[in-house]
Structure 1
């Protein structure tokens, strides 16, 4: 059985380490931990790794956040992966920093990457792992906040939180979304 794991983010040095790129950071940690590496593919960096007999295709779209759906649609079709075997890793302003929540489906909640996936792939029937980045920003400064770097204290917490996200991805691939949600969504 194969899965498509999609880390959302923006390419380019100016976006490295930003809140909006946490999906890329989680994807990087997953692939490194499973001794894989990314290669430049069509519309995305792509890595193929295995975990407990499951094949994980991990992508980091090179389309920029607002056009993520193009890459997801291409790789789903190219690899013949059904929506129920897709997991999107995404930053979430509505959750406090480090809160992780897996959902089977749902709205984009205003997230441009998820909006693009819904529009191009035709729906919300894919799982997403939401990584809380908090909402500690002045009114009207949302874009600066999400495109900004984590502060010193937040950076200290990130390794543990990213490792927890990786555990959730592996669980998704081995025991499914429903059981993973029961185990981890607390």
Structure 2
């Protein structure tokens, strides 16, 4: 079975450590654990690896967040991967910092990357792992918050949270969506 794991983020050094790029950081951690590296390809950086009998195509779109759907659709088509074997890794300000929620579908909740994916695919029925950023920002300062760096105490917690995120991805590929949700969503 082949899976497409898509970490959402923005390319460029200035975005590297921002909250909005947590999808890239999760997928980088997974690639490191699998001992694989990314190659620049059409619409993004791609790495290929295996977890037991599951073949993984890891994607970091180079389209910037607001056009993420173009990269996802292209790689789904190129690799012949059905929507039920796609997992999108995304930041979410609607849940507390460090909370991880695996969902089978859902609204974009104002997230431009998810909004473009839904528009491009014509569906919101794709799995997503939501990484909670919390909402510790002043009214009207959402953009500055998500494009800002994690606070030092948050950054200190990231290695454990990134590892847990990778466990969820591995379980999604080996045990399926429902069993993984049952095990990891609290």
With structure 2 as the length reference, what TM-score do the two structures score?
Answer: 0.99
* Offset at residue 8 of structure 1 (A): 0.1
* Cα displacement string for residues 51-101 of structure 1 (whole angstroms, at most 9, x for unaligned residues): 011000000000000000000000000000000000000000001000000
Correspondence 1:100-119 to 2 at 5 A: 100-119=100-119
Counterpart position of 1:70: 70
Gaps of 5+ in 2: none
SS at match of 2:50: strand
* Offset at residue 122 of structure 1 (A): 1.4
Q: Which runs of 4+ in 1 moved over 4 A?
A: none
Gaps of 5+ in 1: none
Distance across 2 between alignment mates of 1:24 and 1:173: 18
Correspondence 1:18-167 to 2 at 5 A: 18-167=18-167
Distance across 1 between alignment mates of 2:174 and 2:149: 33
* Offset at residue 121 of structure 1 (A): 1.2
Quote the RMSD (CA, aligned, Å): 0.4
Does residue 8 of the first structure (1) align with residue 8 of the second (2)?
A: yes
Distance across 1 between alignment mates of 2:140 and 2:92: 17
* Offset at residue 23 of structure 1 (A): 0.1
* Offset at residue 147 of structure 1 (A): 0.2
* Offset at residue 45 of structure 1 (A): 0.3
Paired residue total: 186
* Offset at residue 109 of structure 1 (A): 0.7
* Cα displacement string for residues 18-66 of structure 1 (whole angstroms, at most 9, x for unaligned residues): 1000000000000110010000010010000100110000000000000
Distance across 1 between alignment mates of 2:31 and 2:118: 25
SS at match of 1:167: helix
